Amino acid sequence: MSFIPGQPVTAVVQRIEIRKLQHGEHLILGFSIGGGIDQDPGQNPFSEDKSDKGIYVTRVTPGGPAEVAGLMMGDKVMQVNGWDMTMVTHDQARKRLTKKDEDIVRLLVTRKSLEQAVRHSMM
Amino acid sequence: MPMNRYADMEDKLRILEDLNMMYIRQIALSLQDSDIQKKIDHEIRMRDGACKLLAACSQRDQALEASKSLLTCNIRIMAYMSELQRMKEAQVMQRVALRSSDAGPTDDRLPCKGKVAISDLRIPLMWKDTEYFKNKGELHRCAVFCLLQVGAEIHDTDMVIVDRTLTDICFDNTIVFEASPGFELRVELYSCCSEEDYSAGSTHRKLASKLSSSLGRSAGKKLRVAMDPGACSPISNGGGATLLLPLPSVGPKYHLLAHTTLSLSHVQDSFRTHDLSISGNEECSHWVPLYGNVCCRLAAQPHCMTQQMISGCLKVKQFGGDPQSWTNVYGVLKGTNLFCYHRQEDIEANVEPAFTISINKKTRIRASEKDLHSKAQSICISNHYGGEEVTHTLSADSREDTHRWMEAFWQQFYDMSQWKQCCDDLMKIELPSPRKPTLVTSKQGSLYHEMVIDTSDDISTVTDILARRMQELELRSQLGTSPPWMSLFEESPGCPRTHNRLPHSPLRCPRPGLLSSEASLTSDSYSPCSTSPCSRHSGWAEPLSSPSSHFRPRTLSLDAKLSTLRGRGYGGVLQCSCQPPSSSSLAPIPAQRIPQATLSCSSSTSSNSSSEGSHSPELSNGTSFSRPSSARRSLRNLRAKLDPRNWLQSQV
């Protein structure tokens, strides 16, 4: 999932719709993210390309809304409700996921197994 | 409808653009100059890339950079085009000359080329006092960069953001050109307003005036100017360029702010100040108050000074000496000297030459026709050393060789007369060093290398070490009884969780204080740090139902964590301490957990920042200490967040 600067990024994505869960007085999604253009990409354990500064799912709460919706650890988040997540800072990413007035988030995520599945199906 | 017409225009412009590209390519092909053709193709591709990037990017910095590369590509293409035209003309002229056969062989001596380097560009600014004192609003910022052009070679400097806190615009780049002594180095300064609000000039007039009148005076003026298409010369980079290669209508646009032309007379081994011609005035959006000068170091190294012009075997005799005392030497003409080595191999061996004859402006060289002792011509070189004149006589093996040497000397003299002051002494040119990558993870020799964490079984070694550390430090004693309000942050039964995890140890007491600091930092959005600890914990002490790691996580943060533990002591371990006690009650924690645990505690090794550093805000961005005040804590939070060595994780 590497990219060439100046060229559009293409990926096979899966649409995941997560309904936020009311937890006390907060709405949670039940996963954790890591990464961002202001973070050190070399410490990302999930990325193939260690210069990838995208947002990755580092943990999924079992039984939480994200797991129910099909999000998996290691997924790279490409879009959240239409907002791009490939070139954002960590804080921007967090904010886009935790908007108070939205109770449903639609993510576009990509993972290696998706690309492989598409490739196999085309062969 | 006007919108349709606008779209039509866009299409037409695009078609025109494509036609222009074809035209450019055709000319290049017809000339069969593959070199320029390749360059043009490359620039066209870069230009397409820049256009796409400009259309696609959302961040202002990216847009500015893309616009800058677009402008540079446009200008380069124009320069190559004019170069092609010139070459085509020359070709045609040559054919005409051959046909007419009037022009005899012109014995035009061409001077040697050389390296011209411009470096340390500095443009002083002259801000008005009103900018500082009355203008309390946000900083008016401009993005600027320089374009340097010699013939068809165009280089751009990096982009610099200028605001009223800068006194000079400094460009650190060193740019080296290959040029002949009659070169003209054109320096152009482009600037572009860097505010977000001013979109392209397609705003409705009424709305524009309403906006500009409702905003402040200076901001409104700028807005009005930005929206008025006619104001500051829309032809920003040369009239022809925008017709041939139209700039996209969206995105930031650079305008020419100032320019000057430097030539051989400005070349000097030290810094010099030159005048700038400024275009544009205060009303323009891209205006930056320039003092009117540019300082730079313009140095030149002609090839005659750096390269060996001619070398060969010679026989040298000093005038006035014994007529038979010819010395066989291997002579090398370089710069202002003729080095005479005993043998050719001495040059590689770095042995000092036997002697050196200087060849400079004051040297006189003549060929003596008649030599009593040999049939070949010999060359006499006369210099003034001190008060006296010293003459050396050179003799080559054959007539052709003598002729070659004479030619070389004449060429050398011609070069020196053309390059003038550059031939007095060799000017130093520092070549720009390759850029180092900005984020370099430094792996210092540390505990990380000593420890081997391969399988999840070995996690116990880590937890053992952590537990030991924890015991070393006087945690428990420092933390007293938990205050009554701690119960608010105890795990509430409502949380969906499979295990009852973390011990309700008093270790958690510092957290509340940090929540406030966190809230102060992220006031605009829902901050996960303010989530109740229970959801945090559910994430935090997350098991083990997740698949065991098929990867080996980087434990750099572990390393950092341990070094801070060594250095400082208690704070960081607090969070980790949650782990070891619970580890006994849980199944072995997969490897991935530990780094996250330690992530919470690791930090930069600066003595000030706490372990709050690098960890997930879920651990309340700034775990642990009850000691530091909330102000310092928020400062540490910020520092931790900005530390490039961290890899933050946030729970959402």
The per-residue pLDDT for range B550-566, each reduced to its tens digit, is: 444 444 545 555 555 55
Please give the residue that has the higher pLDDT: either B246 or B208: B246
Q: Which residues of B touch A59 (CB under 8 A)?
A: 539, 542, 546, 596, 649, 651
Instruction: Give the per-residue pLDDT at B79.
Output: 87
Instruction: Give the per-residue pLDDT at B483.
Output: 47
Bridge-based pairing state of the strands B175-179 and B142-150: unpaired
Q: How many CB pairs under 8 A join A and B?
A: 129
Tokens of B628: 């530091």
* pLDDT band at residue B48 under the 50/70/90 scheme: confident
Please name the member of B496, B532, B650 whose beta carbon is closest to the beta carbon of A63.
B496
Query: Mean per-residue pLDDT for B601-611?
Result: 37
Q: A60 in a domain, yes or no? A: yes
Q: Which residues of A touch B647 (CB under 8 A)?
A: 34-35, 39-40, 43-44
Query: Mean per-residue pLDDT for B455-464?
Result: 57
Please name the member of A6, A23, A43 whose beta carbon is closest to the beta carbon of B52.
A6
* pLDDT band at residue B33 under the 50/70/90 scheme: low
Please give the residue that has the higher pLDDT: either B302 or B284: B302
N residues, chain A: 123
Q: Do B554 and A84 touch (CB under 8 A)?
A: no
Among B178-187, B309-318, B428-437, whose mean pLDDT is lowest? B428-437
Is residue B554 within 8 angstroms of chain A, CB to CB? yes
> How far A30 CA sits from the closest chain B CA (Å)?
6
CA distance B202 to B208: 10
Please choose, from the candidates B582, B376, B644, B394, the residue with its C-alpha nearest in 3D space to the C-alpha of residue A39: B644
The segment with the largest mean pLDDT, out of B15-24, B32-41, B417-426, is B417-426
Q: Which residues of B touch A45 (CB under 8 A)?
A: 549, 551-554, 592, 595
CATH number at residue A82: 2.30.42.10
Kindly tell me if the per-residue pLDDT of B87 is higher than 90. Answer: no
- The 3-state DSSP class for residue A47 equals coil
> How far A49 CA sits from the closest chain B CA (Å)?
14
Is residue B385 within 8 angstroms of chain A, CB to CB? no
Please give the residue that has the higher pLDDT: either B369 or B81: B81
Please name the member of A5, A31, A44 whose beta carbon is closest to the beta carbon of B647.
A44
> How far B163 CA sits from the closest chain A CA (Å)?
23
Please give the residue that has the higher pLDDT: either B562 or B380: B380
Cα of A117 vs its chain's centroid, Å? 19
Instruction: Give the per-residue pLDDT at B64.
Output: 87
Q: Do B526 and A99 touch (CB under 8 A)?
A: yes
Reported as a single tens digit per residue, the pLDDT across B483-494 is 445 444 444 444
Instruction: Give the per-residue pLDDT at B565.
Output: 54
Is residue B613 within 8 angstroms of chain A, CB to CB? no
Are the beta carbons of A29 and A105 closer than 8 angstroms?
yes
CATH T-level assignment (fold) for domain B113-195+251-302: Immunoglobulin-like (2.60.40)
Q: Do A38 and B56 touch (CB under 8 A)?
A: no
Query: Mean per-residue pLDDT for B76-95?
Result: 84
Q: Do B546 and A7 touch (CB under 8 A)?
A: no
Q: Which helix (H) or strand (E) holds B275?
A: strand B271-275
Q: A110 in a domain, yes or no? A: yes
Give B 13-52 residues with CB within 8 A of chain A: 49-50, 52
Instruction: Give the per-residue pLDDT at B238.
Output: 42
Please name the member of A46, A62, A98 whose beta carbon is closest to the beta carbon of B526.
A98
Reported as a single tens digit per residue, the pLDDT across B230-268 is 433 333 444 445 555 666 667 788 889 999 999 988 888
Please name the member of B53, B647, B648 whose beta carbon is closest to the beta carbon of A6.
B53
Please give the residue that has the higher pLDDT: either B208 or B316: B316
Q: Which residues of A touch B498 (CB under 8 A)?
A: 62-63
Please give the residue that has the higher pLDDT: either B95 or B599: B95
Instruction: Give the per-residue pLDDT at B576.
Output: 39
* pLDDT band at residue B460 under the 50/70/90 scheme: low
Instruction: Give the per-residue pLDDT at A65.
Output: 92
Q: Do B498 and A62 touch (CB under 8 A)?
A: yes
Q: Do B648 and A36 touch (CB under 8 A)?
A: yes
CA distance B588 to B455: 10
Q: A7 in a domain, yes or no? A: no
Burial B454-471 (b: 16+ CB within 10 A, else e): eebeebeebbebbbebbe
Q: Please give the residue of chain A at the shortest CA–CA distance from B52.
A: A6
Instruction: Give the per-residue pLDDT at B304.
Output: 85
* pLDDT band at residue B196 under the 50/70/90 scheme: low
Query: Mean per-residue pLDDT for B333-350?
Result: 81
Kindly tell me if the per-residue pLDDT of A43 is higher than 80. Answer: yes
Summary mean pLDDT of chain A: 88
Bridge-based pairing state of the strands B114-124 and B168-171: antiparallel
Instruction: Give the per-residue pLDDT at B350.
Output: 77
Please choose, from the candidates B215, B241, B242, B243, the residue with its C-alpha nearest in 3D space to the C-alpha of residue B227: B215
> How far A109 CA sits from the closest chain B CA (Å)?
16
Tokens of B471: 């015991």
Residues of A with CB under 8 A from a CB of B: 5-8, 23-24, 26-29, 31-36, 38-46, 58-64, 73, 84, 87, 90-91, 93-95, 97-100
Q: Do B649 and A84 touch (CB under 8 A)?
A: no
The segment with the largest mean pLDDT, out of A79-83, B450-454, B568-572, is A79-83
Burial B565-593 (b: 16+ CB within 10 A, else e): beebbbbbbbbbbbbbebbeeeebbbbbb
Summary mean pLDDT of chain B: 67
Residue B177 bridge partners (DSSP):
B116
Instruction: Give the per-residue pLDDT at A117.
Output: 84
- The 3-state DSSP class for residue B343 equals coil
* pLDDT band at residue B534 under the 50/70/90 scheme: very low
Q: Which residues of B touch A28 (CB under 8 A)?
A: 531, 535, 651-652
Query: Mean per-residue pLDDT for B333-355?
Result: 81
Query: Mean per-residue pLDDT for B117-143?
Result: 77
What is the CB neighbour count within 10 angstroms for residue B418? Answer: 20
CA distance B148 to B157: 8
CA distance B238 to B220: 28
Reported as a single tens digit per residue, the pLDDT across B396-410 is 878 888 888 888 888
Are the beta carbons of B528 and B573 closer than 8 angstroms?
no
- The 3-state DSSP class for residue B162 equals strand
Tell me how many domains chain A contains. Answer: 1
Instruction: Give the per-residue pLDDT at B375.
Output: 60
* pLDDT band at residue B345 under the 50/70/90 scheme: confident
Proportion of chain B above pLDDT 90, given as a percent: 5
Tokens of B172: 């650190």
Please give the residue that has the higher pLDDT: either A24 or A92: A92
Bridge-based pairing state of the strands A26-28 and A31-35: unpaired
Select from A59, A72, A100, A105 the residue whose CB has the most chain B CBs within 10 Å, as the one to mutate to test that interface. Answer: A59
* pLDDT band at residue B289 under the 50/70/90 scheme: confident
Among B316-325, B403-412, B458-467, B585-594, whose mean pLDDT is lowest? B585-594
Query: Mean per-residue pLDDT for B573-578?
Result: 38
Q: Which residues of A touch B597 (CB under 8 A)?
A: none
Q: Which helix (H) or strand (E) holds A90?
A: helix A90-97
Let me know if domain B307-419 sits in CATH 3.50.50.60.
no
- The 3-state DSSP class for residue B488 equals helix
Query: Mean per-residue pLDDT for B82-86?
Result: 82
Residue B169 bridge partners (DSSP):
B123
Please give the residue that has the higher pLDDT: either B152 or B432: B152
N residues, chain B: 652
Instruction: Give the per-residue pLDDT at B535.
Output: 38
Q: A93 in a domain, yes or no? A: yes
Kindly tell me if the per-residue pLDDT of B509 is higher than 70. Answer: no
Q: Which residues of B touch A26 (CB under 8 A)?
A: 526, 530-532, 535
* pLDDT band at residue A32 under the 50/70/90 scheme: very high
Query: Mean per-residue pLDDT for B341-361?
Result: 79
Instruction: Give the per-residue pLDDT at B88.
Output: 81
Please give the residue that has the higher pLDDT: either A84 or B464: A84
- Within 13 Å of residue B227, how many CA atoms lie on the same side as its CB? 19
Secondary-structure breakdown of chain B: helix, strand, coil percentages, each rounded to the nearest 5: 40, 20, 40
Q: Do B644 and A40 touch (CB under 8 A)?
A: yes
Query: Mean per-residue pLDDT for B170-187?
Result: 89
Alpha helix positions (H), B437-503: 447-450, 459-472, 475-478
Instruction: Give the per-residue pLDDT at B189.
Output: 92
Q: Please give the residue of chain B at the shortest CA–CA distance from A43.
A: B554
Q: Do A59 and B546 touch (CB under 8 A)?
A: yes
* pLDDT band at residue B533 under the 50/70/90 scheme: very low
Q: State which residues form the domain around A34.
A: 13-122
Kindly tell me if the per-residue pLDDT of A76 is higher than 90. Answer: yes
Give B 387-446 residues with CB within 8 A of chain A: 439, 441
Q: Do B525 and A95 touch (CB under 8 A)?
A: yes
Is residue B62 within 8 angstroms of chain A, CB to CB? yes
Q: Which residues of B touch A39 (CB under 8 A)?
A: 644, 646-648
Alpha helix positions (H), B32-101: 34-56, 60-100
Is residue B647 within 8 angstroms of chain A, CB to CB? yes
Q: What is the ipTM of this complex?
A: 0.86
Q: Which residues of B touch A43 (CB under 8 A)?
A: 441, 554, 556-557, 646-647
Is residue B531 within 8 angstroms of chain A, CB to CB? yes
Query: Mean per-residue pLDDT for B23-37?
Result: 71
Instruction: Give the per-residue pLDDT at B128.
Output: 77
Among A11-25, A80-94, B196-210, whose mean pLDDT is lowest? B196-210
Query: Mean per-residue pLDDT for B2-31?
Result: 73
Q: Do A40 and B647 touch (CB under 8 A)?
A: yes
